[in-house]
Amino acid sequence: MKTLSLALRNLLRNRRRSLTTLLAMIVGLTSILLFGGYRSNIIYGIESGFIQGSGHLQIQHKNYYLEGGDNPTAYGITDYTQIIEVVRHDPVLMPMLTMVTPTLQLGGLAGNFAAGVSRSVFALGMVSEERSQMEKWNDYGLVSYVKPLVLVGTSQDSVVIGEGVAKKLKLCNVLNIKNCVQTETPVVSTGAEAPSDILALSGLEQGAADQAPRQGAQIEMLASTAHGAPNVASLTVVGARNMGIKALDDVYLAMHLSQAQKLIYGSSQPQVTAIQIQLHHTSQLPAAQARLKALIARHFPDQPLEVLDFETLNPMYGQTAQFMNSMFGFIATLIAVIVLFTIGNTMSTAVVERTVEIGTLRAMGLRRSGLRFLFLCEGILLGIIGAAAGVVCALIIAYLINHSGLTWIPPGYSYAYLILVRVWQDPTLLAGSVTGLIVVTVISAWWPANRASRMMIVDALRHV
Q: How far apart are CA 296 and CA 315, in angstroms?
A: 25
Determine the Cα–Cα distance for residues 356 and 354; give it in Å rounded to an integer: 6
Q: Could you read off the pLDDT tens digit of each residue along the chain, which spans 464 residues?
A: 666 776 677 777 777 888 888 898 999 999 999 999 999 888 988 898 889 989 999 999 988 888 876 677 788 898 899 999 999 999 999 999 999 999 999 889 999 888 888 899 999 999 999 999 998 898 888 776 667 788 888 999 999 998 889 989 988 888 888 777 766 554 444 444 555 555 555 554 444 334 444 555 889 999 888 777 888 999 999 988 887 777 888 899 999 999 999 998 887 889 999 999 999 999 999 999 999 999 999 999 988 999 999 999 989 899 989 999 999 999 999 998 988 888 888 888 877 777 777 777 777 777 777 777 777 888 888 888 999 999 999 999 999 998 888 887 766 666 677 788 989 888 899 999 999 998 888 888 888 777 777 777 776 676 65
How far is Cα 93 from Cα 288, in angstroms, rounded to an integer? 6
Other CB atoms within 10 A of residue 290 CB: 12
pTM: predicted TM-score of the whole model, two decimal places: 0.80
pLDDT score, position 34: 94
Q: In angstroms, rounded to a whole number, what is the distance separating the alpha carbons of residues 221 and 170?
A: 15
Give the per-residue pLDDT at 413: 64
Give counts: helices (H), strands (E), the chain.
17, 11
End-to-end Cα spacing for the chain: 31
Q: Which residues of 75-104 are buried (b: 16+ CB within 10 A; e: fewer)?
A: bbbeebeebbebbeebeebeebbbbbbbbb
Nearest residue to 119 (alpha-carbon basis) of 190, 220, 230: 220
Neighbours of 343 (CB within 10 A): 27
Q: Where are the domains of the chain?
A: 2-47+318-461, 63-303
Nearest by Cα to 243 from 308, 146, 313, 170: 146
Burial class (CB in 10 A: 0-12, 13-18, 19+), 227: exposed
In this structure, is the dihedral angle defined by the CA atoms of residues 457, 460, 461 and 462, taken in order, positive or negative? Answer: positive
Distance, in Å, from the CA atom of 49 to the CA atom of 27, rounded to the nearest integer, reads 33
Cβ-based neighbours of 297, under 8 Å, separated by 6 or more? none
Burial zone of 124 (CB within 10 Å; 0-12 exposed, 13-18 middle, 19+ buried): buried
